[in-house]
Homo-oligomer: A and B are copies of this chain.
Amino acid sequence: MKKVSVALTGAGGQIAYHLIYSISKGEVFGFDTQVDLRLVDIPEVLPKIEGLVMELEDSRLTLLSSVSIHSDQQLDQAFQSIDFAFLVGAFPRLAGMERKDLLEKNGLIFKTQGEALGAYAKPSVQTLVVGNPCNTNCLIALSHAKNIPSNQFYAMTLLDEFRASYQLAKMCQVPVVDITDLYIYGNHSATQFPDFTNARVKDQPIISVLDQSGLETTFVPMIQQRGAAVIKARGSSSAASAARSAAETAHKIWSQSSTPFSVAVVSSGCYDAPDGIVVSAPYYFKDGKGRVYDRFDHDATAKAMIEKSYQELLQEREAVIALGFLDE
């Protein structure tokens, strides 16, 4: 049987509590692949993770061949020869925290983890960053991971695509599978652009069915603010849905999906993205190589929205450079 070694940070959190089960049930790496799982979190959380491991033991997960627990000070063990890393843990934005404080806290976390990936993981390791701000956290990690190609680092925007697909399906009163060609551009943030201009419903352009100005003024902000709306309703941030998207993203990366999906990768210049930032776009694999699906056209309005999100990412990059976590 095949075997994969996987590390997951933020293992004591709510996203991990769901994601670990998806991984252990075979949904990510396949039902023919055993998983050696390394759970990582800050020292204070480790006793609770021991309880989670007891639950895993009690769950008859026959693909889970081994589980170990590591503090974030033991990345040499946690990342040793791993094939895949889920970087889920991030410092949360607490009340009263400045944006700069947030970038500083996370800059240190993702610099350290990037360095450890470069030092200990397999050179073929694939890394999915879920912890926010995920694009910039991903940029920091890949910049410090020596000997690992930058295009093996990904930041998650598939949750945004799922959110957008559902809302368009609802507006068109069709099942979600009837919505196609809908992808997220830019940053996983309130500036993201869910590109309704190329989206199709039952192979017809959405903009031939729904009013374009309504989509701009209602649909786009709804997707941009969906995370906040979930927090308001649940009293805590998206967990199960984030885990679902993370599992699907990792599965698409691992299985080299030939169908495009939304994910953020280091800019290759497609869709006029500036160099040196991690941007979302449709992405797919062909002949064993991942690449941006670059066949969509954008009108001036769409281009302006995408550009706005690029600008935000450039600002995040500048802030992180000023904090010393990236070279210019």
Contact = CB atoms under 8 A, between A and B. Distances in A.
Contacts of A60: 162, 165-166, 176, 244, 248
A54 B176 contact: no
Number of copies of this kind of chain in the complex: 2
Contact of A241 (B18, B55, B166): B55
Nearest to A163: B58
Contacts of A55: 230, 234, 238-241
A75 interface: no
A47 interface: yes
Nearest to A20: B240
A318 interface: no
Q: DSSP class of A's interface residues: helix, strand, loop or mixed?
A: helix
B240 A59 contact: yes
A222 to B, nearest CB: 11
A232 B55 CA distance: 12
Interface in A111-168: 159, 162-163, 165-166
A233 B55 CA distance: 10
Contact of A166 (B57, B177, B233): B57
A24 B248 CA distance: 15
A319 interface: no
Residue in A166, A175, A232 whose Cβ sees the most chain B Cβ within 10 Å: A166
Nearest to A47: B233
A235 B57 CA distance: 17
Interface residues of A, number: 39
A285 interface: no
A87 B240 CA distance: 21
Contacts of A177: 62
Contacts of A56: 241
A235 B163 CA distance: 33
Contacts of A57: 163, 166, 170
Task: Give 10 nearest A-B pairs by CB, closest first.
Answer: A51-B234, A51-B233, A55-B241, A58-B241, A59-B244, A58-B163, A60-B162, A59-B241, A57-B166, A50-B233
22 contacts: A17-B240, A18-B18, A21-B240, A21-B244, A48-B233, A48-B234, A52-B240, A54-B226, A54-B233, A55-B230, A55-B234, A55-B238, A55-B240, A57-B166, A57-B170, A58-B159, A59-B162, A59-B244, A60-B162, A60-B165, A60-B176, A60-B248
